[in-house]
Amino acid sequence: MQASEQVRIVDIEDEIQSSYLDYSMSVIIGRALPDVRDGLKPVHRRVLYSMSELGLEYGKPYKKSARVVGDCIGKYHPHGDIAVYDTIVRMAQDFSMRYPLVDGQGNFGSIDGDPPAAMRYTEVRMARIAAELLADLDKETVDFQPNYDNSLLEPVVLPARVPNLLINGSSGIAVGMSTNIPPHNLREVVEALVALIDDPGLSQEALERLIPGPDFPTGGFIVGLSGIKDAYRTGRGIVTVRGRAMVEDEENDGRRRIVITEIPFQLNKVRLIESIADLVREKRLQGIAEIRDESDREGLRIVLDLKRDANEHVVLKHLYKHTPLQSSFGIIMLAIVNGQPEILPLRKVLEYFITHRKEVVVRRTRFELRKAEARAHLLEGFKIALDNLDEVIAVIRGAKDSPSAKVELMARFGMTAKQAQAVLDLRLHRLTSLEREKILQEYRAILALIEDLRDILGSEVRIFGIIKEELLQVSDQYGDERRTQLVDVDPTVSDEELIPVEDMVVTISRFGYVKRNPVALYRAQRRGGRGKIGMATRDEDFVQDLFVASTHDYLLVFTSTGRLYWLKVHQVPQASRTAKGKAIVNLIGLQPDERVAAVLPVKEFDESSTIVMVSRKGIIKQTALSAFANVRATGIIACSVAENDELRHVKLARAGQDVLMISKHGKAIRFSGSDVRTMGRTARGVRGMVLKEGDEIIGIEVLDEEPEELETTEQEAAQETEEDRQGEDRGEATILTVTERGFGKRTPTWQYRRQMRGGQGIIDIKTGERNGMVIGMAKVRREDEVMLVTDTGRILRTPVAQIRKVSRNTLGVRLMNLAEDERIVGLARLVDRDEDGSTQDSNGSTEGR
């Protein structure tokens, strides 16, 4: 042959195109993409099949990883050993696989990115759930194909009793395409599969309720559900994944710290810590004093100690914005379908799995039917022989050899060759009466089995029933609770929705220190009776107000200049039982000329409630609560205040409630709230009470009780009747008025008759040389306690029940013995708590004194 005849002339463009397409399809089909039926790439399938052939089922002894790698490479996967070992390692990592398929013994790497030990050191066997992928493989349920050198056969796909593509996900880069399928929760996927079998026309919305989203092995949050819906409906979508971080209080020094316990899927923990450290070093992330990795066998724990002046919520937002603690996961649901890559919506993935399982069940049933029919055929021969036992024995004894006996049996009794051979192979002990009965029982049982198997093959309902039953068994055995929490908010708008809705006990001290604790914790501390609220304060400071509010409720902080600042309850530091909390002025950023006048907890800005504001000089204003719904970080004007005046008192009111105002000179005025029209935010208000020179408003309350039409005399009101006592036992309120010289009194609210707004009022308590001026008032009940504070720092805590109830126009009784030059400067009602932790609070506000 001439050399020229061995040369084939081709166009280089055609050759490159053809060769590249061949290479591309080889990578797409043979390496990078999973099959939609079993969710496995070829290398994963070959590893599991090799382990099955080696007998490495769960519960059997481990074998060296190198043994599995060698078998897999030598028999089925002619590629690098590192690639095969990396596959084994990943299938053994519980932070990579939602349901690991390999049970490893030894060092298989860590979430820190540490490499696994060499394959000669580690040992493996199949995980328990991997057996479900290989179940019924020996029953001709799937096709087999020749291996790379045509010396062996390997399965084209595994029977896969579990929906592995969805529960473990897959990722891979092919030529010109890639796949990135997130893991899901087994129970949810099985529930959706069963629902789809029962109702093939199940709506997309119902399907998404059953499978609400991915479930990553590392937990965390998925923030925003729009990306999930896009992926489930089109096969492509992007979801935002966040790590789980919580704020803790350091018991020893009162500092706050952020603790990260879960991180986004496929994030290297060391890289996360390094990225945070770099930002702190570059001063792009403020407020972090120290970073520690306290992770151990119990779980992941990254601790960020905060500086004393740091706002933990601001720091956390910066972490989400600038570090991988918040990451995007791009979903591409690409898999091999009938030998071709296809992007699949969720419904298609489920339908293809159901179709695969239907084929597996049908092929398994046919295999079992063939086996049963073959066995029945032999048993029929046994039955013929047993029915003609003496004659059969005579034929066998009279035959020259085995082939002759076989021919004679076939001719004499109409047996087939297989039946005749089976009779010849029958051992003599099977001819005993007991053994003969066993053969007949087996024959009857095999006939019933054949009938049942034929019924299965003839009934699609039974086939789907078997599929559902096997799926539910898998779910019961391997299913677990969801690890990744879904939060339906836009991650670019607010981080608040990540904070759990939880009732908190908020405490505010007289000097403006605030803190919160979970209600459950407070109950645990408080069971067994009443006692002091656990809050460390200075000697002259004390807890002035306490209320229960949700973490998502608002605290409306009013200042002396008439401005309003918003504060969410979850922004209040969560401190230990003995910590005093944080100064509220540091949480809202007051101006130098401002001080806190009042704090109101508000759950929602409804239309039916109003805010009543009263200035030091008696100007009153009422504004709808809904007018304060638009939150601004810099605050807003809640009330215009005159230059020589200041906002002092704020209360939450409802329609029909009266307003009671008491002045420094002991005057009181009560009028209907409807006398004060509702005004806009910037309005100044109207005159609530006419004050004489040097007088000022000391306190206000909103009242529900109706006043008496006729005022009683001093002598009548001074006597505490049994009726009054019963009223107090029912929790009815009285007004406690305290003067600076240590005198005070309680008066029923009904004794303050209703007047017109803008008058001089009536006498509440007599002021003068004996009593001094009024320093405070409060609406109290018999079970309450009050705290009195003097200008020398002395504190008296006394039960309200021990304070005499007298009429309105009296001098009152002595509450506290004072030195000649000592004066009372503060009054506060202390909040009692029931044993179950519920509060006995009236207005849910605290006012500056």
Could you report the per-residue pLDDT of 676-717, keeping only the tens digit for each?
989 988 888 999 999 999 899 999 999 876 665 444 444 444
pLDDT of 831 over the 70 cut? no
For residue 753, the SS3 value is coil
* Arithmetic mean of pLDDT, 709-726: 47
| Active site residue ranges | 121
Q: Say what the pTM is.
A: 0.63
Considering only CA atoms, give the Rg of the chain.
Answer: 41
Tokens of 438: 């066993």
Q: What secondary structure letter does DSSP report for 712? A: P
Where in the chain are all domains bearing CATH 3.90.199.10? 40-159
Tokens of 605: 């800005």
Amino acid at 766: K
CATH of domain 499-847: 2.120.10.90
Tell me, what's the pLDDT at 498?
A: 47
Strand pairing report for 288-293 and 485-487 = unpaired
User: Which residues lie below 8 Å from residue 652, measured CB to CB, with a gap of 6+?
Assistant: 600, 602, 609, 610, 611, 612, 625, 702, 843, 844, 845
Return the percent helix, strand and coil in the chain, to nearest 5: 35, 25, 40
Tokens of 582: 């944080």
What pLDDT, in 10s, does the model give residues 50-99?
999 999 999 999 999 999 999 999 999 998 899 999 999 999 999 999 99
Where in the chain are all domains bearing CATH 3.30.1360.40? 244-324
Tokens of 828: 């506060």
Q: Do residues 406 and 444 touch, judged by C-beta distance below 8 A?
A: no
pLDDT of 182 over the 70 cut? yes
Tell me, what's the pLDDT at 135?
A: 94
Among 257-271, 346-360, 481-495, 737-751, name the one with the lowest average pLDDT.
Answer: 481-495
What's the Cα-to-Cα distance from 258 to each of 242, 291, 316, 615, rounded to whole Å? 14, 10, 8, 41
Tell me, what's the pLDDT at 544?
A: 63
User: Which residues lie below 8 Å from residue 76, measured CB to CB, with a gap of 6+?
Assistant: 46, 49, 50, 147, 148, 152, 154
Among 317-326, 486-495, 840-849, name the one with the lowest average pLDDT.
Answer: 840-849
Neighbours of 201 (CB within 10 A): 6
Q: Which of 197, 215, 216, 220 is nearest to 207 (CA)?
A: 197
What pLDDT, in 10s, does the model give residues 779-818?
898 888 888 888 887 878 888 888 888 888 888 889 888 8
Tokens of 14: 């055609």
Give the CATH number of domain 40-159; options: 3.30.300.30, 3.40.50.2300, 3.40.50.970, 3.90.199.10.
3.90.199.10
What pLDDT, in 10s, does the model give residues 447-467?
999 999 999 999 999 999 999
CATH of domain 244-324: 3.30.1360.40
Tell me, what's the pLDDT at 73?
A: 95
Residue carrying structure tokens 């069940």: 361
